[in-house]
Amino acid sequence: MSILVGPETKLMVQGITGREGTFHTLRNREYGTQVVAGVTPGKGGQDVEGIPVFNSARDAVEATGANTTMVFVPPRFAADAIYEAIDSGVELIICITEGIPAHDMLRVYTHLRRGQQVLVGPNCPGIISPGKATVGIMPTQVFNPGKVGLVSRSGTLTYQISKELALLDIGQSTVVGIGGDPVVGSSFIDILSRFEEDPETELVVMVGEIGGNEEEKAAEFIANEMSTPVVAYIAGFQAPPGKQMGHAGAIITGSSGTAEAKRVALEAKGVRVGTNPTEVAALVKERLG
């Protein structure tokens, strides 16, 4: 079993006719994802290597039954694209776009919470259920089917830890990049709860980084709500206060949001925290037995 994406995924891509949109759409299809439609206003009636293009997300959903969308739209138009996706009725929205203004995402987040649809991202690498489907920009060759779920704020660390797991013959059930912006559609807790309900996920790796308090909140959730074991990694132990490191949300303010504070909070709740990707993989192997 997988969470969020799998054989049942019917994908449309908003921004399919752009260079990056086309490239990653075709890579997703090559992996085995059902790509049923693309959306670019003004280009309805065209196609991208056999994938029909529509003028609106609603038209695409009505014509093809798409239940998932990937947003590859420039930052200034991305919030409107997400609104359009919500109104089309798709179940899952995965926004790859980075650089969306935080105030735009606050409005999107508020609108989204009025319903039951799921947004992953923005500024994320997407989701992959190895051997089943992928939606996003992840390098699929580093993932293998298995029983470890992975949720991460960092795309690059996701790939590195998955590679370290592969060296120990450990595969993944689903890998979710939630994005590193200050405002994202899905939190660690949102994804951890889905892994907890998945009978084929036997352990979860959570990859956090400096900034914010999402990891601390996740520690409470893991202790109180999860029976599935969790191993964690926090990037940024050497990050100086007040300096943005990588993502827009990766910034320490005063004593809040440090890697050490997050490690202490997690370990206080029984979550082992690795100091590097290799150690994380070793902890996973130890927990799996």
Looking up tokens 């909140």 gives 217
**Pick from 170, 166, 124: nearest CA to 4:** 124
Q: Please return the burial class of 50, using the count of CB atoms within 10 Å of its CB with bins 0-12, 13-18 and 19+.
A: exposed
Contact partners, residue 124, CB within 8 Å, separation at least 6: 94, 95, 96, 136, 155, 177, 178, 179, 180, 184
Distance of CA 95 to the CA centre of its chain: 9
Instruction: Count Cα neighbours of 223 within 13 Å in the Cβ-side half-sphere.
Output: 14
Q: Is 247 a catalytic residue?
A: yes
The SS3 call for residue 166 is: helix
Pairing between strand 10-14 and 68-71? Answer: parallel
Of 24, 103, 111, 247, the catalytic one is 247
CA 241 and chain centroid, separation:
26
Catalytic residue annotation? 247
